[in-house]
Amino acid sequence: MRRRFLAANWKMHKTVGEAVAFARDFLPRVKAARAEIAIAPPFTALAALGEALAGSHVALAAQNVHDEAKGAFTGEIAPGMLADLGCAWAIVGHSERRALFGETDAFVARKAAALFAAGLRPIVCVGETLAEREAGRTFAVLETQLAGSLAAVPGERAAELVLAYEPVWAIGTGRTATPAMAQEAHAMIRGWLRGRFAAAADAIRIQYGGSVKPDNAAELLAQPDVDGALVGGAGLEPESFARIVLAKEEP
Ligand code: PGA
C-alpha cells in the first residue's frame, strides 16, 4: 500500500546547465519506473529543472524552506514561492541543516506545517549521531526528534507526510546502515507514528538515507518498513540514481 519513493538531494551541487543536462539523461532511463521519484536541486536550479521535468513523473523538491509566508527574512525562501515554481516537496530538518545551521525541532515543525498550508509536502529528516548510537540512545534521540519535528502536522494530512531516517554517521561516509539496522529504526519510527497518527501511520512512507548506492539499494529497500530512499552522492549521476530507482522490489 506504500508506493516506493526515491528522492535525490543534490545539496550544494550543480549549475542550471548541469541540472538540465541531468534531466535529459535521467528521464529516459526511468520511463518505466513504478516508484515515485523526486529531485531536490539547489534553489537556483529549481525553475530550470522544473521545466526540464515538466510532463514527466519526476517531481520537483526543495532542500529547505522558511516557515513564514513573506517578510523581512533576508536570504530565505517562502513555501508559496516554492509552490509557484511547481515544487511538490521540500526536505526539512536535514542533519546538515540541524548541525551546521542550528535548526531546532521546533523550527522544523513550523516548516512542515507551513508546507502543508501552502499545498506542498514535507520530507522530514531524523537520525542519530555516532556518539548517540554508541551510547545506546538511538531510539531516545529519534523519539525526541519525531515529537518535536512533527508537533504541528495536521492530523488529516498525516498520510501525506514522508519521513527520512538518516543516521548521521552514514551520510556521505560510505558507511551504510545494515538492512537490519535500518529496519530496526524504521520499525521504531512506524510504531511511534502509530501512537501519534493512528491508522494513517501505515500510509506514511519512511525513506532511508545515508550512503545509499546502486549496489546496496535493493537489500535496504526490501526491508518491510523501508519505503524508499533519500539519496545524496549517488543521486548526482543519472546512471547511478536510475539504478537505485529501478532496484528490484525483491532482491
Ligand atoms: P549520501 O547523503 O547519500 O551522500 O550519504 C544522503 C543525504 O544526506 O540525504
pLDDT one-digit tens code per residue, 217-227: 999 999 999 99
Q: Which of 196, 237, 172, 170 is CA-nearest to residue 26?
A: 237
Q: State the DSSP string of 202-216.
A: GT-EEEEESS--TTT
Q: What is the mean pLDDT of the chain?
A: 96
- Bridge partners (DSSP) of residue 9 are 40
Ligand 1 centroid distance, CA of 234 (Å): 8
- Bridge partners (DSSP) of residue 90 are 62, 122
User: Counting beta carbons within 10 angstroms of the beta carbon of residue 151, is it exposed (0 to 12), middle (13 to 18) or buried (19 or more)?
Assistant: middle
Closest-lying ligand 1 atom to the alpha carbon of residue 172: 5
Residue-level length of the chain: 251
* pLDDT band at residue 250 using 50, 70 and 90 as cut-offs: very low
Mutate to test the pocket of ligand 1, among 9, 12, 237 (most ligand atoms within 8 A of CB): 9
**Ligand 1 within 6 A of 126 CB?**
no
For residue range 109-164, list pLDDT tens digits in order.
999 999 999 999 999 999 999 999 999 999 999 999 999 999 999 999 999 999 99
Residue 251 has pLDDT above 60, yes or no: no
Q: Where are the beta strands (DSSP E) in 158-248?
A: 162-165, 205-209, 228-231
Per-residue pLDDT at 127: 98
Distance CA 92, CA 200 (A): 20
Q: Who contacts 64 (Cβ-Cβ below 8 Å, separation ≥6)?
A: 77, 90, 91, 92, 94, 97, 111
**Ligand 1 within 6 A of 63 CB?**
no
Closest-lying ligand 1 atom to the alpha carbon of residue 231: 3
List the catalytic residues: 94, 166
Distance CA 190, CA 183 (A): 10
Per-residue pLDDT at 130: 95
Judged by DSSP in three states, 196 sits in helix
pTM score: 0.97
Question: Cell 518491510 identifies what position?
Answer: 224
**Ligand 1 within 6 A of 176 CB?**
no
Mean pLDDT for 82-105 is: 98
Ligand 1 centroid distance, CA of 156 (Å): 30
Closest-lying ligand 1 atom to the alpha carbon of residue 9: 9
**Ligand 1 within 6 A of 50 CB?**
no
Mean pLDDT for 178-187 is: 97
* pLDDT band at residue 1 using 50, 70 and 90 as cut-offs: confident
- Bridge partners (DSSP) of residue 230 are 7, 209
Closest-lying ligand 1 atom to the alpha carbon of residue 210: 5
Ligand 1 centroid distance, CA of 63 (Å): 12
**Ligand 1 within 6 A of 225 CB?**
no
**Ligand 1 within 6 A of 206 CB?**
no
φ, ψ for residue 192, nearest 5 deg: -65, -40
